[in-house]
């Protein structure tokens, strides 16, 4: 369970195989702006961190609001967004001690 970390380049490659009519430049632009939003602390309307992969296609929302599922199960997330998630979790644990 959880997100599978993937680099932007690898994700773009996979996405274009599954969506052959997608424009690569356009996809990259949308991914970049979703990552930027994520790193700027933009959140879903429900308060969760946004899911970059889904937000690139559907607007800035979290995994649950986009898919209707409570937890990711072998869904992709861009590695840059996962790294920040892990760091945030570690920081909050230190803070609690
Ligand atoms: Zn949400």
**Interval 51-90: pLDDT, tens:** 999 999 999 999 999 999 999 999 999 999 987 777 776 7
**Interval 16-28: pLDDT, tens:** 999 999 999 999 9
The pLDDT score that the predictor gives to residue 39 is: 94
CA 35 / ligand 1 centre spacing (Å): 16
CA 3 / ligand 1 centre spacing (Å): 16
How far is Cα 12 from Cα 40, in angstroms, rounded to an integer?
Answer: 22
Reported as a pLDDT band with limits 50, 70 and 90, residue 92 is low
- The candidate with the shortest Cα–Cα distance to 82, out of 29, 11, 14, is 11
Do β-strands 2-6 and 73-78 pair in parallel, antiparallel, or remain unpaired?
Answer: parallel
Provide mean pLDDT across the span 35-39.
96
How big is the CA angle at 44 (ends 97 and 46), to the nearest 5 degrees?
75
CA 50 / ligand 1 centre spacing (Å): 7
CA 70 / ligand 1 centre spacing (Å): 10
Enter the pTM of the model.
Answer: 0.84
Spell out the domain ranges in the chain: 2-96
| Cα 83 to Cα 5, 38, 68, 87, distances in angstroms | 9, 12, 24, 6
CA 60 / ligand 1 centre spacing (Å): 9
């Amino acid at each position: 369970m959880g997100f599978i970390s993937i680099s932007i380049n690898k994700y773009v490659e996979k996405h274009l195989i599954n969506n052959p009519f997608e424009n690569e430049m356009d996809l990259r632009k949308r991914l970049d702006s979703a990552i930027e939003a994520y790193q700027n602390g933009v959140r879903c309307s429900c308060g969760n961190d946004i899911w970059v992969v889904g937000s690139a296609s559907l607007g800035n929302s979290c995994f649950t609001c986009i898919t209707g599922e409570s937890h990711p199960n072998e869904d992709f997330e861009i590695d840059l967004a996962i790294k920040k998630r892990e760091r945030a979790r570690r920081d909050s644990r230190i803070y609690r001690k």
